[in-house]
Amino acid sequence: MQQILITPTYFPSIAHFVAIVKAEEVWIETQEHYQKQSYRNSCYINTDKGREALTIPIVYSQKNGHIRSEMIPLVTASNWQKQHLRALETAYNSSPFFEFYIDDLMPIFTTKFTQLQALNIAILKLLFSILEIDKKIIATTQYDQYPKALDLRYLANRRKEKTYAFDKYIQVFGAFESNLSILDLLFMEGPNAILYLKQQNLF
């Protein structure tokens, strides 16, 4: 894949990163209208109760009509960062690489973010650094004007998520859960995560 177009999401799914590692250029959609029930403000982790969503509270109402994603503010009075960090500690404290990576991830849970899209872009850049993905992230300047890029914005849609035949890897709890947040793979596989991603296929 030479160019891909993706939507920045909260700790993106493994499918997102399978596409990213195979692409030469990564374009991120910054001009779209916000859509509810998506991975823009949520991700799935693996817990003792199975697949569990971590969701960031945002200020959004359909009464306000279409709002560009870059304009969506976070509920600043919420303590979601502490809650999500605690959830990750509970779920992955016994995983092989949790302690190895958690310090690198701490800025996401200690920095005060006010806009959802800015948070998601910061997460993406941080994960590129952690996974040593040497690719430029290019932000769109217009909506739907990138015909040369493979359009993978649907990966952000939680309601119509596809099923992927990704290889199994050892997880902390129970039966294998596919296509969780990249954090699950990172905490379980560590430096081998990038090799795993390169070996998977979206199609």
Q: Give alpha helix (H) positions in 6-112.
A: 14-22, 80-92, 98-110
Rounded to 5 degrees, φ, ψ at 138 are -110, 125
b/e code 92-125 from CB counts within 10 Å (16+ = b): beebebbeebbeebeebeeeebeebbebbbebbe
- pTM of model > 0.85: yes
What is the sign of the dihedral through the CA atoms of 108, 114, 120 and 125? negative
* Amino acid in the structure at residue 103: D
Which pLDDT value is given to residue 136? Answer: 86
Which pLDDT value is given to residue 70? Answer: 72
Lookup: tokens for 13: 């799914």
Strands (E), the chain: 3-6, 25-28, 42-47, 50-55, 137-139, 150-151
Confidence of residue 72 (pLDDT cuts 50, 70, 90): confident
Tens-digit pLDDT profile for residues 109-151 = 999 999 999 999 999 999 999 999 999 899 988 877 777 889 9
Which pLDDT value is given to residue 62? Answer: 58
* Amino acid in the structure at residue 95: S
Q: Which residue has the higher pLDDT, 159 or 84?
A: 84
Q: Which residue has the higher pLDDT, 159 or 93?
A: 93
d(CA 172, CA 174): 7
Is residue 107 a contact partner of residue 118, using CB atoms and an 8 Å limit? no
Query: Residue 119 in 3-state DSSP?
Result: helix
N residues, the chain? 203
Question: CA-CA-CA-CA torsion for 172, 86, 187, 57, nearest 10 degrees?
Answer: 110
Locate the domains of the chain by residue range: 3-199
Tens-digit pLDDT profile for residues 51-61 = 999 999 998 65
Is residue 153 a contact partner of residue 7, using CB atoms and an 8 Å limit? yes
DSSP, res 67: -
